[in-house]
Amino acid sequence: MALDTAWAIDWVRRTAATIDDHRAELVTLDREIGDGDHGENLDRGFRAVVEAVDAGSFDTPGAVFTTVATKLISTVGGAAGPLFGTAYLKAAQAAGDATELDADALVAVLTAARDGVVSRGKAEVGDKTMVDAWSAAVDAAATAAAAGEGPERVLEAAADAAVTGAESTDPLVARKGRASYLGDRAVGHRDPGAQSTAYILRAAVDAA
């Protein structure tokens, strides 16, 4: 399947479904090192996104991403709304008016999303945040594209790497967000934003 508007819409729906499926897990992860609302907030946000997408008409993946961004920023509380919302907004800008995303365009979209999160959250790799998952995904996508892989394989490489990136947060001491107040007590717990990032990128693969 081409990474076109239909794919982008299906990605939204699959993301909402997977966040709903893993809502309790994300709540638990966030309760261990945060305020416990990550799963509920993200689930509410993507339900609103699906409603908006179902009610709209879109010509490009970028237009879909813009709607996702707007809804997440307006409906998701805590840090997740601004961070994921900015990721989708920057992804939309990188996608531009393209009706399909080839491998290089996909790398540009993922890179812009990651850079949006970094800019908004002021975090870097190793801070025990969703940046650890996003950066791993971007690096893997760029490597796959450079090797001549098509967009679906590039996306799969990104999603696989995001899982590894999320897992890499387990032994880290948090340097950003609420978890940073816990010091060594955050060690052994996975960052919920990194885990939800991995789920979101896996949904993109499933849609493709």
pLDDT band at 176 (very low <50, low <70, confident <90, very high): confident
Q: What is the mean pLDDT of residues 29-45?
A: 91
- Containing domain of residue 110, as a range? 5-207
**DSSP 8-state class, residue 128:** S
Name the average pLDDT for the chain: 94
pLDDT of residue 1: 59
Tally the domains of the chain. Answer: 1
Q: What is the mean pLDDT of residues 12-23?
A: 97
- Considering Cα of 178, then 28, then 134, then 49, what sign does the dihedral take? negative
Q: Residue 188: give its domain's CATH number.
A: 1.25.40.340
Q: Is 100 strand, coil or helix?
A: strand
Q: What is the mean pLDDT of residues 4-31?
A: 96
pLDDT in tens, 111-151: 999 999 999 999 999 999 999 999 999 999 999 999 999 99
pLDDT in tens, 63-113: 999 999 999 999 987 788 999 999 999 999 999 999 999 999 999 999 999
Residue spans of alpha helices (H) in 34-174 = 38-55, 61-75, 80-95, 103-121, 130-146, 151-167
